[in-house]
Each structure stands twice: as C-alpha cells, then as structure tokens.
C-alpha cells in the first residue's frame, strides 16, 4: 500500500477504532473483552494510553484501515521500559501490509522513546497474527494455557517478545522520553 498514511491517533478516530476492534470482541477470541467498546470508550482509552505511549492509525483515502498502540507491560516501576503492543486491521485490509507498516513505525517511536522490550499476547490458534509478529521480529517466549474462557471454550495465549534495544545485563536503560518527542525524531 504505497499511499498508506500512518499518523498518531486522534479523538476523531474513535468511531473507526471501535468499528475495527468490534469483530475481535464479538466474533473471535482475539480479544478477551466480552462487550465491544463504543466510540466514547475508545476515545477514553486513547486518552489514557497516549498519556505515556503512542497509538497510531493507518489510513488510505481518508479511511482508517488499522491501528496499533503500546501500553504498559505491568504496573511496577521496574517494568517501565517494557511494553505490550497491539495491532488491529480491518478485515478487508488484512494481509496488505497495514499491520507490518504500523508496527514498523511504532517500534521506531518506542526505540526513540527509550523502551527496551515489546511483548504481544496472541490467542491460539491464530496463524495470521503469529505470522505477522514473527515477520516483524517477535520470538515466542511462552504460553499461558487456558488463560481465558470465551465463546464457549478455553483459549491459550501465546506470548512473543521483541528486543527493541539490546542492553547489557547491568546497563541502565536511561530515562523514557515522551512519545510525542519520539514521534518528531
């Protein structure tokens, strides 16, 4: 997709974000949410996430085709250089390079921000998502068996990790920069 525009998500994107995400909640085990959030909730999530981490959208011809974001891996302070990443693409735009392009830009921003590790959880089976994550450099790090019950059955979640910045075991990671500064880098 040569004319794909990747930019920071804005509140005006909330309805498109909710629309893209809804099938993963209502029709698939991709997300462990049970009720799809509406545009207002997506706008609130966007505001919470972007207080610290980037949230990007990919568009073409004025239509939002997909989005990705990073969020805190865990709450404790020593985890602050690790993120969980998520990418969702409209069904009609899958396997067209949208997810890969979003992740490439997100990882650039996370590196500039100072993040060290990215993790992604994938409900199994999901060969398309595993393929995307492996293609952008993620490696398997483990599986949580029977992690969630949805759509009448238990689902395992595979976890994948990506080193954003290689540091020695005793090398301090440095301070995290605001993602808005990293976006300009």
| pTM exceeding the 0.85 threshold for the entire prediction | yes
pLDDT digits (tens), the chain, 185 positions:
568 999 999 999 999 999 999 999 999 999 999 999 999 999 999 999 999 999 999 999 889 999 999 999 999 999 999 999 999 999 877 888 899 999 999 999 999 999 999 999 999 999 999 999 999 999 999 999 999 999 999 999 999 999 999 999 999 999 999 988 866 66
Residues 112 and 147: their CA atoms lie apart, in Å, by: 33
Q: For the chain, which residues make up each domain, given as ranges?
A: 5-184
Tell me which CATH code domain 5-184 carries: 3.40.630.30
Who's near 174: CB < 8 A, 6+ residues apart? 114
Question: In this predicted structure, what is the pLDDT of residue 118?
Answer: 98
């Amino acid at each position: 997709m040569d004319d794909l525009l990747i930019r920071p998500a804005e509140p005006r994107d909330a309805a498109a974000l909710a629309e893209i995400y809804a099938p993963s909640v209502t029709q698939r085990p991709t997300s462990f949410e049970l009720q799809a959030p509406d545009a207002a909730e997506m706008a609130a999530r966007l505001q919470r996430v972007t207080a610290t981490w980037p949230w990007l959208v990919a568009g073409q011809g004025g239509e939002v085709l997909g989005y990705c974001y990073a969020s805190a891996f865990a709450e404790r302070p020593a985890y602050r250089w690790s993120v969980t990443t998520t990418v969702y693409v409209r069904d009609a735009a899958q396997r067209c390079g949208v997810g890969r392009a979003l992740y490439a830009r997100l990882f650039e921003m996370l590196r500039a921000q100072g993040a060290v590790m990215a993790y992604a959880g994938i409900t199994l089976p999901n060969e398309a998502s595993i393929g995307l994550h492996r293609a952008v450099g993620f490696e398997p790090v483990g599986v949580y068996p029977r992690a969630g019950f949805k759509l009448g059955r238990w689902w395992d979640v595979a976890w994948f990790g990506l080193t954003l910045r290689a540091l020695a075991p005793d090398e301090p990671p440095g301070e995290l920069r605001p993602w808005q500064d990293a976006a300009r880098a």
